[in-house]
A and B are shown apart, each in its own frame.
Chain A
Amino acid sequence: MKILSKIYMGLVFLFLYAPILVLIVFSFNDTDTMSRSVWSGFSLRWYERLFQDRMILDALRNTLLIAVVSALLSTVLGTSAAIGINGMKRLPRRLMMNITNFPMVNPEIVTGVSMMLLFVFGARALGGLSLGMGSMILAHTTFCLPYVILSVLPKLRQMDGHLYEAAQDLGCPPVPSFFKVVLPEIMPGVVTGMIMAFTLSIDDFVISYFTSGTTQTLPIYIYSMTRKRVSPEINALSTLLFGAVLILLLVVNLRQARDKREQKARREEAAG
């Protein structure tokens, strides 16, 4: 039984990782014909070309810019929304949570199409505007907001509500007592929400596709390439991105493990 489950997990991970392995291996393929399944030797030429390709670098810059701005916007708006929702009575809170959940259960393509209608309409009404970075930032902020709220709310619920009142009783004005008392308590949730928003924004294709106008982001550029043939440059780029994510995850996990160990040590010290 034990050995059987190990074989099963091995097969599932083979299924999950085979395509990624193929992508990575072919980013080093030494070929001119852009062949996607014939191996003809090791080379770094696609990595060299990648850093000379203006289109890809522009798309990368747009993607990162949109992700940073919409992650910050949705974190600020979402955290403040979570505080508001947390202070509400049952009925309005249920209403707010239903509106919050809606974009998460609604098919992405319908959300994308509906926002496209809004932006086309709005652009026409305001005159002379067209879809692009602005509309994409608004759209990304909108679909990231629920994730921020859902990661901040549990932290707020765990927090002792009297802490905020105590700070004010001791003479701290409301705004500083929020930043000094409430924010540090809910910070892990806020950070998680922001990271989620950032990664969701970077990876999003469907909603960007409908709200981008002529602006290119990385996923949109990749999509336009898959309709012809994907240049191994894209393989090279995704290998680099994947490597970056891998390192980021390792750092985060190691930090968490270290924090846990320190916490445990501190607790033992206090007990002993």
Chain B
Amino acid sequence: MKAKRAAVPYGIWMVIFIIVPMLLVLYFAFTTQEGAFTLQNIATVGRYSNVFVRSIWLGAVATAVSLLIGYPVAYIIARTRACWQSVLILLVILPMWMNFLLRTYAWMTLLEDSGLINNLLEALGLGRVHMINTQGAVVVGMVYNYVPYMIFPLYSVLAKMDPSVIEAAQDLGASQARVFWRVVLPMSMPGVISGITMVFVPAVSTFIISKMLGGGANLMIGDLIDMQFLGSSYNPNLGSAISLVLMVLILICMGIMNQFDDGESKGGGIPL
């Protein structure tokens, strides 16, 4: 087959721009600034375990909230009339066309101490609430930016589901709650899993949202990496080590998630 040769330029491209850079990260993570082998960088990462714990915690909370908000949205959209479905999905996608930094910045203006929400609360006589530069603000930012990634895969699984299966369960006398827990939810599991990974990975590794909405106090893994490469404490060796640990961590998380997937039904993905 001659067709195979068409992939050669791409193969070379990916070796140069994906595989070699990853090997460089590996090399930098295990060497000193002079280039000698060392395990010191990896050991130093341990010192930042509180940052890792915080990132994973905030990422997990944001993922859980996105799932709780996104599942009903996907379910409702999948149950509306066909002509409305594409309109509603478009409405979910549309905010993502505004630059991500600007959307996060808009939340700064909303959540500030003298911001719009606080002005509104005061006008209603409820008093001001301190929201910006808290972990809650970071979670709001993450959920806002990544909830569409949860809704797409859930929607594409739920829309494909055969309604007669649900009717069958109802005919057999199952209550609404039982139908959901025993029929709808198990069948939508592939969508749940790809939604969770699509939200969790960017949420854990973000460095803008925490910087803009979390103030200086809620440092995350991404901020740590940023500092080593372009920030105050220039140290690409340590930065590479942190990146490596982050990568391994996410691979492990995804491996665990895939255990829940039966691997038969491949759902999810962005409908385009």
> Which residues on A are within 8 Å of B, measured CB to CB?
5, 8-9, 12-13, 15-20, 22-23, 26, 36-37, 77-78, 80-81, 83-88, 92, 96, 99-100, 102-103, 105-111, 113-118, 121, 138-139, 141-142, 145, 149, 151, 174, 192, 196, 199, 203, 205-206, 209-210, 218-219, 222-223, 226, 230, 234-235, 238, 241-242, 245-246, 249, 253
B7 lies within 8 A of chain A by Cβ: yes
Contacts of A99 in B (CB 8 A): 14, 18-19
Q: Are B94 and A118 in contact (CB under 8 A)?
A: no
Q: Are B76 and A113 neighbours in the complex by a CB distance under 8 Å?
A: no
A203 engages B90 (CB within 8 Å): no
- Measured CA separation A210–B243 after assembly (Å): 14
Q: Which residue of B lies closest to A73 (CB)?
A: B13
Find B13's partner among A12, A145, A206, A241 (CB 8 Å cutoff): A145
How many contacts between A and B, using CB within 8 angstroms? 209
Chain B residues whose C-beta falls within 8 Å of the C-beta of A246 in the assembled complex: 94
Report yes or no: B225 in contact with A88, Cβ–Cβ below 8 A.
no
B243 and A110 within 8 A (CB): yes
**Whole-angstrom distance between the alpha carbons of A251 and B11 in the complex?**
36
Q: Report chain A residues within 8 Å CB of B11.
A: 81, 96
Which residues of chain A come closer than 8 Å to B45, judged between CB atoms?
none
Chain B residues within an 8 Å CB radius of A206: 207-208
Q: Check A222 against B236 for contact (C-beta < 8 Å).
A: no
- Assuming A142-B18, A145-B10, A222-B101, is B247 touching A249 (CB within 8 A)? no
Residue from the list A16, A26, A139, A203 in contact with B95, Cβ < 8 A: A16
B160 an interface residue at 8 Å Cβ cutoff? no
Task: Let me know if A114 and B243 touch, CB within 8 A.
Answer: yes
User: When the two chains form their complex, are residues B28 and A105 in contact, meaning their CB atoms are under 8 A apart?
Assistant: no
Q: Are A77 and B9 in contact (CB under 8 A)?
A: yes
Q: Do residues B205 and A109 form an inter-chain contact, with CB atoms below 8 A?
A: yes
Whether the pair B4, A88 counts as a contact (CB closer than 8 A) is yes
Beta-carbon contact of B110 and A84 below 8 Å = no
